[in-house]
């Protein structure tokens, strides 16, 4: 089921499957600013990545002496989340552990998502709670996809990724075939605020950026200044991705992550996996995706 909140600037729609943001419409122009999820290109819009980000080595991990299988980015994006209600510019959802999740991840949890509109900004606040008696170790990331180009008069080359301050990002390399962290790194650029955009830049999958001090990263239309901005503060990793352009990019993702995929040499032990947080019984942890639409 899909639910909508709106204010004077934006209309926002979220699907209870995955508590996934599927639409942000500029009410003044009627423009859809999120990727529309065409199945032949990429069928998602802005999935929540939980209880891990990226891929597991050999598609499995071990916890409490047992092996569990898992696909990319965990299972929260594929499950129905309970709608908690909507009031004014705010609505919420929750995913609670049950027999389905415990068969894939043997830890109780509650994953609550609250969407709040403030002018032309959307905040998606996620709170993870540990209702169990053992520690809860997990990863989490966001994966919003923004429609590109903004209109038919522009092409991919008319856009760029732009930080609010000059950066020297360090790329954490992953295997093109496996998606696993290789242990190798490289400097993407030296003290520059701009990453040029091109239709072939994601032919070898995503670009994982680390060691950023920027507060924001935007997709900017160079000749008009129209942009979509993602806040980065508090996130150790930011990924750039799109389905490879055939022949052109249809969308771009700016993905703030709190954790990483497995390393290529990982043992498979959950206790060694990169994580967002480790919660004791009764503890909770929160993070927020902040999107600002100026287009």
The count of domains in the chain is 1
Q: Residue 245: what pLDDT?
A: 83
Q: 137: domain CATH number?
A: 2.70.98.10
Is the separation of the CB atoms in 237 and 172 below 8 Å?
Answer: yes
SS3 category, 94: strand
Helix locations, 80-185, DSSP H: 99-102
pLDDT tens by residue, 136-162: 999 999 999 999 999 999 999 999 999
Q: Residue 284: what pLDDT?
A: 99
Q: Residues 6 or more apart from 224 whose CB is under 8 A from it?
A: none
Q: Residue 244: what pLDDT?
A: 87
Domain region containing 20: 2-294
Is the separation of the CB atoms in 267 and 185 below 8 Å?
Answer: no
**pLDDT tens for each residue of the chain, 295 residues long:** 999 999 999 999 999 999 999 999 999 999 999 999 999 999 999 999 999 999 999 999 999 999 999 999 999 999 999 999 999 999 999 999 999 999 999 999 999 999 999 999 999 999 999 999 999 999 999 999 999 999 999 999 999 999 999 999 999 999 989 999 999 999 999 999 999 999 999 999 999 999 999 999 999 999 999 999 999 999 999 999 999 888 999 999 999 999 999 999 999 999 999 899 999 999 999 999 999 999 9
Q: Residue 21: what pLDDT?
A: 99
The helix, strand and coil proportions of the chain, stated in percent and rounded to the nearest 5, come to 5, 50, 45
Region of 265 (left: φ > 0; alpha: ψ -120 to 50; beta: rest) is alpha
Q: Residue 224: what pLDDT?
A: 98
Instruction: For Cα atoms 263, 21, 282, give the angle at the middle one, nearest 5 degrees.
Output: 65
Q: Residue 137: what pLDDT?
A: 98
pTM score, whole prediction: 0.97
SS3 category, 236: coil
Nearest CA to 214 among 160, 253, 167, 254?
A: 167
DSSP characters over 263-295: BTT---BGGGS--SEEE-TT-EEEEEEEEEEE-
Helix (H) or strand (E) holding 220: strand 216-221
CA 20 to chain centre: 10
């Amino acid at each position: 089921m899909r639910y909508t909140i709106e204010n004077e600037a934006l209309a926002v729609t979220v699907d209870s499957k995955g508590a996934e943001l599927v639409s942000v419409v500029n009410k003044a122009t009627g423009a859809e600013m999120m990727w529309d999820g065409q199945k032949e290109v990429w069928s998602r819009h802005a999935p929540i990545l939980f209880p891990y980000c990226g891929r597991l080595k050999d598609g499995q991990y071990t916890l409490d002496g047992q092996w569990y299988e898992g696909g990319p980015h965990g299972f929260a994006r594929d499950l129905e989340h309970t709608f908690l209600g909507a009031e004014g510019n705010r609505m919420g959802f929750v995913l609670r552990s049950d027999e389905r999740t415990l068969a894939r991840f043997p830890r109780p949890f509650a994953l609550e998502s609250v969407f709040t509109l403030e002018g032309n900004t959307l905040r998606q606040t996620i709170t993870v709670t540990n209702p169990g008696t053992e520690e809860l170790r997990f990863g989490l990331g966001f994966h919003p996809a923004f429609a590109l180009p903004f209109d038919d008069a522009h092409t991919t080359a008319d856009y760029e990724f732009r930080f609010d301050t000059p950066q020297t990002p360090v790329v954490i390399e992953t295997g093109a075939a496996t998606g696993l962290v290789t242990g190798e790194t490289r400097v993407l650029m030296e003290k520059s605020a701009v990453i040029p955009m091109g239709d072939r830049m994601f032919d070898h999958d995503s670009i994982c950026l680390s060691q950023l001090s920027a507060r924001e990263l935007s997709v900017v239309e160079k000749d008009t200044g129209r942009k979509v901005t993602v806040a980065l503060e508090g996130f150790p990793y930011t990924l750039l991705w799109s389905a490879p352009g055939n022949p052109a990019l249809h969308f771009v993702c700016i993905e703030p992550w709190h954790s990483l995929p497995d390393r290529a040499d990982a043992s498979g032990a959950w206790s060694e996996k990169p994580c967002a947080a480790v919660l004791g019984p009764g503890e909770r942890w929160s993070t927020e995706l902040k999107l600002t639409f100026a287009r």
